[in-house]
Structure 1
Amino acid sequence: MLNAGAPSAFLLLGDHAGREIPRRLNRLGVSDAALDRHIAWDIGIAGLGARLSALLEATFVAQVYSRLVVDCNRRPGADGAMPAVSDGEPIPGNRDLSPLAVAARMAEIYDPYQEAIAAALEARAGRQTVLIALHSFTPSMQGQDRPWRLGVLHRHDSPFSSAVLARLRQDLGEAVGDNAPYAMDETDNTIPLHADARGLDYLELEVRQDLLADAEGQAEMAEWLAPRLVEALEARALFGEVDTGSPPK
């Protein structure tokens, strides 16, 4: 966790910010090249999150383990939470997992991450809070180019997401996807898990990975995004009811 107790209304999350694999899992039997790919982590998000954390004075809770070990943005037991194949890449260490092996990964990786988010939210009780889950996407998927620079993922129930979409499109137009390249749906876990029960507003933001390929790109994107996120927070009342940071009654 970076910048614990920071004053910003934003709580930044990185479900796939790292690509560590517990030593006992023998790298899941995959190559170095596979671990460099988007299947293992959200490329550039650790750096982007750290820079946004500093610029916004916001806490950043980041998952350091690879999404191939446990995808923390999938509900426990969901398809794809521990994939045997990811974007055509076999993951030998995820084949035929026993219930005991699954439970061990959940206890070691999934539970502490979600508990850290819950603890950060508990520490903010009574304060305005907006969750921002940071993700990145590959420029090409299964032979299809993805023209968007950023994507705003939401369920049509988030004034902040609507405000961010409107603000980013002022500068980039259709290069900002509305539920593209992904739509926020029942496969998503972290935002529904923590925002819904507490009545919090949220944003799931996707950034194209080539824009975050190095430290310079990550810094440039953070410096571009930070003021626009603040502007969207100030404008979100125009897009619907604003939460108070308290659980719904």
Structure 2
Amino acid sequence: MRDSPNGPLLTPDDPPPVQVINPSGASRFLLLGDHAGNIVPAALRSLGVGPGELSRHIGWDIGIAGLGEALAAMLDATFIRQTYSRLVIDCNRDPGAIDAMPAVSDGTVVPANAALDPDDRAARVAAIHTPYQTAIAAELARRDAAGVTTELVSLHSFTPTMRGFARPWEIGVLHDRGNLSLAHRTLARLNAMSGLTVGDNEPYRMDSIDYTIPRHAGPDRPYLELEIRQDLLATPAGIAEWADRIADLLAD
């Protein structure tokens, strides 16, 4: 499916795999967007799927690019976001995992992922996954060396329904192990808000499948993984509303 099987995956005409928004942000929060983009490298020819598929939740986390940029401005925080579609490679998965480059996603066949050889997989890891994870590690190392306390906030969104089942939560807080202080504080504040249905490890659990937060938070760094329902982020007004709400949560 690549035009140049032996050449680089990304060319000068492709955008860089990582975008760092507000790199000099003074906030203790470091915002992350594992699935904030839905671009496909030109060499992969749209992966053999239509643009409508790339715009669905299988292509990216709807609304997260705008939400992360809004929060970066409101909190004076740095936002590190991934550029390419999760169908090219999922940066919140171990690069060796089968579902890091899924052949089928929520019923949609991805032809370019059907028969990847080791070289194809390695090219995607080297071009996209590694630079993204390296950018996060470098920013944390810089802050640690400067004696700056950092709390990680990973931003995600989820579909209102999955396999025919409605998901009633407006927002979910995912956590597993390590320093849970930020996650627990956030859960408590969300649960105190009237009119919100809050998921505690719903609609997903953070577990061994997740890659970014476990890799960079380790046992000691406070972290928070937020999942927001995608219909609530479908418009600029919705993104602005949730940016206000989350900024208030984090600023306290």
- Please, what TM-score do these two structures have when normalized by structure 1? 0.90
* Among candidates 206, 209, 222, match of residue 184 of structure 1: 206
* Among candidates 11, 18, 27, match of residue 46 of structure 2: 27
Which residue number in structure 1 is paired with residue 12 of structure 2? none
Letter of the structure 1 residue corresponding to residue 199 of structure 2: G
Q: Give 1:227 shift.
A: 1.1
Letter of the structure 2 residue corresponding to residue 168 of structure 1: L
Which residue number in structure 2 is paired with residue 16 of structure 1? 35
Q: Do residues 169 (structure 1) and 191 (structure 2) align? A: yes
| Structure 2 gap ranges (5+) | 1-19
* Among candidates 151, 154, 158, match of residue 133 of structure 1: 154
Which residue number in structure 2 is paired with residue 119 of structure 1? 138
The alignment partner of 2:157 has SS state of: strand
Letter of the structure 1 residue corresponding to residue 52 of structure 2: A
- Please, what TM-score do these two structures have when normalized by structure 2? 0.89
Give the Cα separation in 2 of the matches to 1:128 and 1:21: 35
Written as runs of structure 1 = structure 2, the 5 A alignment for 1:1-249 is 1-125=20-144, 126-157=147-178, 158-172=180-194, 175-196=197-218, 199-231=220-252
Give the Cα separation in 1 of the matches to 2:113 and 2:59: 13
The alignment partner of 1:171 has SS state of: coil
Give the Cα separation in 2 of the matches to 1:172 and 1:49: 24
Q: Give 1:173 shift.
A: 6.4
Q: Give 1:196 shift.
A: 0.4
Give the Cα separation in 2 of the matches to 1:3 and 1:174: 30
CA gap 1:174/1:51 in 2 versus in 1, 3 angstroms: closer
Identical aligned pairs, as a percentage? Answer: 56
Give the Cα separation in 2 of the matches to 1:185 and 1:87: 20
Give the Cα separation in 2 of the matches to 1:49 and 1:172: 24
Cα RMSD of the aligned pairs, angstroms, is 1.1
Q: Which has the higher helix share?
A: 1
CA gap 1:173/1:192 in 2 versus in 1, 3 angstroms: farther
Give the Cα separation in 1 of the matches to 2:140 and 2:177: 23
Q: Give 1:79 shift.
A: 2.7
The alignment partner of 2:224 has SS state of: strand
Letter of the structure 2 residue corresponding to residue 152 of structure 1: V
Q: Give 1:172 shift.
A: 4.3
Contact 2:64 2:155 in 1 (8 A): yes
For residues 139-173 of structure 1, give each alpha carbon's deviation from its aligned partner in whole angstroms, at most 9, with x where no partner exists: 01010000000000001541110110010111146
Give the Cα separation in 2 of the matches to 1:156 and 1:101: 34
**Which of structure 1's runs of 4+ aligned residues deviate more than 2 A?**
none
Give the Cα separation in 1 of the matches to 2:90 and 2:141: 24
| Structure 1 gap ranges (5+) | 232-249
Give the Cα separation in 2 of the matches to 1:168 and 1:219: 18
Give the Cα separation in 2 of the matches to 1:116 and 1:91: 28
The alignment partner of 2:129 has SS state of: helix
Q: Give 1:174 shift.
A: 6.3
